[in-house]
A and B are shown apart, each in its own frame.
Chain A
Amino acid sequence: MPRTITYSEAINEALREEMERDERVVLLGEDVGRMGGIFGVTHDLYERFGPDRVLDTPISEMFIVGGAVGLAITGLRPVAELQFADFIFNAADETYAKMSKWRYMHGGNFTVPMTLRLPEGATGGGGAEHSLCPEAALLAHPGAHIVVPSTPADAKGLLKAAIRDDNPVAFFEHKGLYATRGEVPDGEHLVEIGKADIKREGTDVTVVAWGRMVSRALEAAKNSDASVEVLDTRGLRPLDTDAIFASIEKTGRLVIAQEAPKTGGGASEIAAIVAEEAIDLLDAPIKRVGALDIPLPQNAMLEAMAIPTAAEIQVAIKEVLA
């Protein structure tokens, strides 16, 4: 019997199960221990596993990521948390150079089996420096996987897979999804990294999305007159291009929705790949939906206007079908 739990609980369960399974798994980050995380995601883990497994760090993002690389290359499997995904830029070199490149630069002499948890996204007034979806920041720096779950089941299965992966994984979890509920299978539940999931089948148009935009795409699909297929990439690297090509072969039309500002994001990359490799499968130009190209306003009402809504995705669907 699958249980219905929240996205946040699913992440907590994944961490707990992996820590029970493998004593090399340790957590570190700001307030992840005694407090259980500022969003409560790591609650009870400190009490359960103690201070040698769950470490409250100083406010030192470079140390959290760089230190985790040191832990990872010396036999542990750290799960490091940056309190907000925006802080990836406070630890930029450590993330795109040390985490992603240490193995390659040193001729394969090391593996860096670490997971970097990155709570992302707009949640109603977080302001311009606490609301980003910076998944694409790592696209130009090969070496780490980029994973973004959209449901509790995917959050649990992908995080468990990330922790077991010998590659570094940047795991973006959407803060706005923490309270959403969904069915999660009982027992061992793993989701393969880099495998897209058709969240809804359709024949007229494909909406490619990830993270929170998946639920908005599903809402748009439900409200649309057309038969809309919603393909969840579950992240940006590895990217399941085969699944994207297979879907547009069926529908002939493509909308790509991301929460990040429209310019320079994952949607641009996916659009470019499709244009380069599979343009002949399309009957209409590709349409991208993304946030306005502005720093996100702190005013929650304005913030909501800046990021894509289901209605905007629905308009895009209508446009590619016109």
Chain B
Amino acid sequence: MSSRLEIYRVMVLAQAWEQALLRLIDENLAPASYHPGRGSEGSEVGATLALEDTDYLLYDHRGMAHIIAKGTSLTALFGDFLGNELGTTNGLGAGIVHVADPERGVLGQSGTLGGSQLIASGAALSAKLRKSGQVTMCFMGDGAANRGTFHEAANAAGAWKLPLVFVVQNNGWAVSTPTEHSTGGSFVDRAKGYGWHGVQVDGQNPFDVHDVAVEAVERARSNNGPTLIEVKTVRLTGHYLADPQQYRSAETKADASTKDPIVFARKLLHESGEATEDELEKIEAEARTQVDNARDEALKGNQPGQDLLTRYTYV
């Protein structure tokens, strides 16, 4: 259980990290094939902070907030995007798809979307067989939730009551295809069919997401089975950086912009008296400093040599 201020701090950190990455991309130092995470910090941070260090995370490709919330080094994350030896993949992964951090339980991500669902189910089965008490959390978008992999992973996890949490980040768009065009029902309703617990929550409110996730993690850890959390969230920008979003009307874009979870959380913390303006500004300034230091450190990394090409093909 994390405090609201901690949730806010990590969201701001993720936002600052992404802003710094976008500057690196502008400077042609990092590849532009990035899927911005602005808008989904509420679900990614709110949910991930319900995990312990030893729990497993399979993230999705939008933003870095879940990985940052799990505690992976910001320098290493920059290193991955810069494609240098300081990255978690030593310069091999170069970007969001394949960040890995076994020590923090970050098990990676499948480049074919949905592939992580099965691996998450296997990791949860592993924890159950080893009686380790670990919980596995797997993020996916509404698009990836329509892969057949979802069914096989969810069905096995339901049959065996695996300690698994699926977070379906429903931002309404699978690249350019609206959810109502790609699925006939609601994601949360699927939970019942697989014998899972299902809950829907507003991703604009990261504190509600956190409460729901804490419950789900507790349910998993006490062998009461998996939970599907459907987070209604927003994509504040395009699917990827160069996405002109011609498929999206001005109205839906404007409507999404009113649902920024960071703006929401800041306002709530301020109005409730939980944090003064000075305290909030201090958190934000510290996040920027932390990110700037990590960025400067990461820029010192060397590009890998040709020997890296074959190093990890076989053990």
A residues 44-70 in Cβ contact with B at 8 Å: 52, 55, 57-58, 60-63, 65-70
B residues 57-115 in Cβ contact with A at 8 Å: 87-93, 97-102, 107-108, 110-112, 115
CB distance from B306 to the nearest CB of A (A): 15
CB distance from A185 to the nearest CB of B (A): 27
Report the nearest B residue to A63, measured CB to CB.
Answer: B152
For B130, list chain A residues within 8 Å (CB).
74-76
Q: A69-B118, A98-B119 are in contact. Are A107 and B126 (CB under 8 A)?
A: no
Q: Is A71 in contact with chain B by the CB < 8 A criterion?
A: yes
Stretch at the interface among B14-22, B256-264, B307-315: B307-315
Query: B122, B126, B130 — which one has the most chain A CB atoms within 10 A of its CB?
Result: B122
Structural contact, A60 and B152, CB atoms closer than 8 A = yes
Identify B313's interface contact among A63, A65, A109, A142, CB under 8 A: A142
Query: B102, B115, B119 — which one has the most chain A CB atoms within 10 A of its CB?
Result: B119
For A280, list chain B residues within 8 Å (CB).
none
For the complex, what is the distance from the CA of A71 to the CA of B120, rounded to whole Å?
9
Structural contact, A73 and B315, CB atoms closer than 8 A = no
Q: Is B121 in contact with chain A by the CB < 8 A criterion?
A: yes
Structural contact, A107 and B156, CB atoms closer than 8 A = no
Q: Is A167 in contact with chain B by the CB < 8 A criterion?
A: yes
Report the nearest A residue to B149, measured CB to CB.
Answer: A62
Q: A58-B155, A98-B110 are in contact. Are A108 and B121 (CB under 8 A)?
A: no
Q: How many A-B residue pairs have CB under 8 A?
A: 144
B residues 182-206 in Cβ contact with A at 8 Å: none
CB distance from A45 to the nearest CB of B (A): 15
Q: A67-B119, A68-B122, A167-B314 are in contact. Are A60 and B156 (CB under 8 A)?
A: yes
Q: Is A9 in contact with chain B by the CB < 8 A criterion?
A: no
For B207, list chain A residues within 8 Å (CB).
none
For the complex, what is the distance from the CA of A58 to the CA of B159, rounded to whole Å?
9
Report the nearest A residue to B92, measured CB to CB.
Answer: A107
For the complex, what is the distance from the CA of A256 to the CA of B220, rounded to whole Å?
54
Report the nearest B residue to A65, measured CB to CB.
Answer: B118
Structural contact, A105 and B121, CB atoms closer than 8 A = no
Structural contact, B93 and A105, CB atoms closer than 8 A = yes
Q: Is A97 in contact with chain B by the CB < 8 A criterion?
A: yes
Q: Is A103 in contact with chain B by the CB < 8 A criterion?
A: yes
Q: Is A22 in contact with chain B by the CB < 8 A criterion?
A: no
Structural contact, A73 and B148, CB atoms closer than 8 A = no
CB distance from B74 to the nearest CB of A (A): 17
Structural contact, B110 and A103, CB atoms closer than 8 A = no
Interface size class of B (residues with CB under 8 A): 35 or more
Q: Interface SS of chain B: helix, strand, loop or mixed? A: helix
For the complex, what is the distance from the CA of A285 to the CA of B125, rounded to whole Å?
53
Query: B115, B313, B314 — which one has the most chain A CB atoms within 10 A of its CB?
Result: B314
Report the nearest B residue to A103, measured CB to CB.
Answer: B312
Identify B107's interface contact among A26, A74, A111, CB under 8 A: A74
For B93, list chain A residues within 8 Å (CB).
105-107
For B98, list chain A residues within 8 Å (CB).
105-107
Report the nearest A residue to B148, measured CB to CB.
Answer: A62
Report the nearest A residue to B127, measured CB to CB.
Answer: A74
B262-300 vs A, Cβ < 8 Å mask (1 yes, 0 no): 000000000000000000000000000000000000000
For B156, list chain A residues within 8 Å (CB).
57-58, 60, 63, 67
Q: Is B228 in contact with chain A by the CB < 8 A criterion?
A: no
A83-107 vs B, Cβ < 8 Å mask (1 yes, 0 no): 0000000000110011000111111
For A62, list chain B residues within 8 Å (CB).
118, 148-149, 152-153
Structural contact, A66 and B159, CB atoms closer than 8 A = no
Report the nearest A residue to B314, measured CB to CB.
Answer: A167
For B112, list chain A residues within 8 Å (CB).
93, 97
CB distance from B96 to the nearest CB of A (A): 12
Q: Is A143 in contact with chain B by the CB < 8 A criterion?
A: yes
Structural contact, B108 and A69, CB atoms closer than 8 A = no
For A269, list chain B residues within 8 Å (CB).
none
Query: B93, B110, B149 — which one has the most chain A CB atoms within 10 A of its CB?
Result: B110
Q: Is A110 in contact with chain B by the CB < 8 A criterion?
A: yes
Q: Is B250 in contact with chain A by the CB < 8 A criterion?
A: no
A residues 141-171 in Cβ contact with B at 8 Å: 142-143, 165-167
Report the nearest B residue to A143, measured CB to CB.
Answer: B313
Q: Can you report 14 A-B residue pairs in the complex whose CB atoms are below 8 A from each other?
A: A57-B156, A58-B155, A62-B153, A67-B121, A70-B122, A70-B126, A71-B122, A71-B125, A76-B126, A94-B118, A105-B98, A106-B89, A106-B93, A107-B93
Extra contacts, 9 of them, besides A62-B152, A63-B153, A143-B313 (Cβ < 8 A), are A60-B152, A60-B156, A75-B130, A104-B312, A104-B313, A106-B108, A107-B92, A108-B312, A110-B102
For the complex of A and B, 3 pairs with smallest distance between CB atoms: A70-B122, A107-B89, A66-B118
